[in-house]
Amino acid sequence: METKELNLITNREKAIEEAGELLKNGGVVAIPTETVYGLAADAFNADAVAKIFEAKGRPQDNPVIVHICDRDQLSKVVSAVPEKAEKLMDAFWPGPLTLVMPKADAVPSTVCAGLPTVAVRFPRDKDTQDIIRAAGTPLAAPSANISGSPSPTKALHVMSDLKGKIDAVVKASGLCEVGLESTVIDMTKEPPVLLRPGAVTPEQIESVIGKIEISEGVLHQLPEGETAASPGMKYRHYAPKVKVVLVKGSYEKYRDFLNDRQSSKNVALCYKGEGTDIGCPAISYGLCNSPEEQAKELFDALRRIDKMAVNVVYARCPKPEGIGLALYNRLIRAAGFEVLDLGE
Ligand code: AMP
Ligand code: MG
């Protein structure tokens, strides 16, 4: 299959119209959003949704998020809206927040992997909104990568994973604004349960609806055989092909640790401005004091590492606070929960 490139920069109107047409006709199209690129299909077309799973190699038991372009579309996909969900929508929609709610009968079970609930998001990116509008239907869209690899934050990442397997990619300029997948919170529980941290932080959520629970799987490895509240949490994820080790401690300790075992097969994953005094290749992403910039650049950095002939990535460990919790969650999964604590 030829994968069309629809360029928003050179002809926005045409790109959106063509993406809309393809989606209306059961096609599968990668689209930019403020979080990461999504692989979209008509959420009410079970055959089209099946193509998403096939292209990504996504396990059938991992449900996908449904994207809408205004709150009126919500009643098509959910059967009830809990009061606290309403409050979160008022505060954070459109934006990088996904709410799990009871599903409407019309949503095919492939979208929800057989669960009685559906995850819904109203993205704030204007291009995403216009593509959904052009398609004339809510869009089911997980991240547009091969399952398990780092999520794509630019069109080139999508092409390197899915060229020839999908109908088209809509190309925006530069990296996605946020760079990490949306915050996911289960609103069918009381208190609501945070399933995946993202740019909308637990602190921000609690300031609107009070106490929430953080799912065990956010920070820890789930014991073998335990059912995950969010099926996606049980898979190794966001990972480059090489081994990743997360390293806790000060920059000085980290530098000395790497310099003690100099090897061109190691790579340091550190922050901008660091790494010049480390005797192995270094890839840097985001300034040390800007977790937002780190979020935006992390997946691109992991993909750059995959192009290097190295064996082990030693990654600086972000502070698990604010959006740093989301960074920590992605990196600890990439590392298969392997953490080395060097102390301060
Ligand atoms: P992705 O679409 O790749 O961003 O991943 C979506 C995440 O949301 C995965 O971790 C899913 O397991 C989770 N998710 C989607 N739908 C539901 C649902 N109905 N209940 C719980 N988690 C969900
Ligand atoms: Mg994903």
The residue contributing the CA closest to ligand 1 atom 4 is 142
Average pLDDT over residues 144-161: 96
| Ligand 1 contacts CB of residue 111 (under 6 A) | no
| 131 Cα to the center of ligand 1, angstroms | 21
| Ligand 1 contacts CB of residue 342 (under 6 A) | no
Q: What is the predicted pLDDT for the residue at 232?
A: 67
Residues pairing with 171 in the sheet: 7
| Ligand 1 contacts CB of residue 82 (under 6 A) | no
Higher pLDDT, 262 or 99: 99
| Ligand 1 contacts CB of residue 64 (under 6 A) | yes
What's the distance, CA 150 to chain centroid? Answer: 8
Helix 291-306 crosses helix 155-162 at what angle (to 10 degrees)? 30
Q: Residue 228 pLDDT more than 80? A: no
User: Which is it for strands 38-42 and 139-140: parallel, antiparallel or unpaired?
Assistant: antiparallel
| Ligand 1 contacts CB of residue 181 (under 6 A) | yes
Q: In which band, very low, low, confident or very high, does the pLDDT at 247 lie, cut at 50, 70 and 90?
A: very high
| 143 Cα to the center of ligand 2, angstroms | 4
Average pLDDT over residues 180-193: 98
| Ligand 1 contacts CB of residue 123 (under 6 A) | no
Q: Which ligand is nearest to the CA of 182?
A: 1
Greatest Cα pair distance, the chain, in angstroms, is 60
Higher pLDDT, 106 or 336: 106
The residue contributing the CA closest to ligand 1 atom 21 is 230
Prediction pTM value: 0.96
| Atom of ligand 1 lying closest to residue 181 CA | 4
Q: Which ligand is nearest to the CA of 63?
A: 1
Cα separation, 192 vs 61, in Å, equals: 22
Task: With CA atoms as reference, report the closest residue to 58 among 240, 231, 241.
Answer: 231
Pick the range with the lowest mean pLDDT from 46-50, 90-94, 102-106, 336-340. 336-340
Q: Residue 262 pLDDT more than 90? A: no
Q: Residue 236 pLDDT more than 70? A: no
At 308, list the tokens: 């290097």
Cα separation, 161 vs 172, in Å, equals: 17
Pick the range with the lowest mean pLDDT from 64-68, 239-243, 269-273. 239-243
- Identify each DSSP E strand in the chain by its residue range: 4-7, 29-31, 38-42, 65-67, 97-102, 117-121, 139-140, 168-171, 183-186, 193-196, 213-214, 243-248, 266-272, 282-287, 312-316, 339-341
Q: Residue 275 pLDDT more than 80? A: yes
- Residues 22-62 pLDDT 10s: 999 999 999 999 999 999 999 999 999 999 999 999 999 99
The residue contributing the CA closest to ligand 1 atom 2 is 142
Q: What is the predicted pLDDT for the residue at 223?
A: 73
Q: In which band, very low, low, confident or very high, does the pLDDT at 230 lie, cut at 50, 70 and 90?
A: confident
Q: Residue 234 pLDDT more than 70? A: no
248: exposed, middle or buried (Cβ count in 10 Å: 0-12, 13-18, 19+): middle
| Ligand 1 contacts CB of residue 269 (under 6 A) | no
Q: What is the predicted pLDDT for the residue at 186?
A: 98
* Mutation to probe ligand 1, out of 184, 194, 333 (largest number of atoms < 8 A from CB): 184
Cα separation, 84 vs 208, in Å, equals: 9
| Ligand 1 contacts CB of residue 218 (under 6 A) | no
Q: What is the DSSP letter of 199?
A: S
Whole-number percent of the chain with pLDDT over 90: 89
| 186 Cα to the center of ligand 1, angstroms | 10
The residue contributing the CA closest to ligand 1 atom 9 is 232
Cα separation, 35 vs 200, in Å, equals: 11
| Contact assessment for residue 305 and residue 240, using Cβ atoms and an 8 Å cutoff | yes
Within 8 A by CB and 6+ apart from 127, the residues are: 8, 12, 16, 31, 32, 170, 172
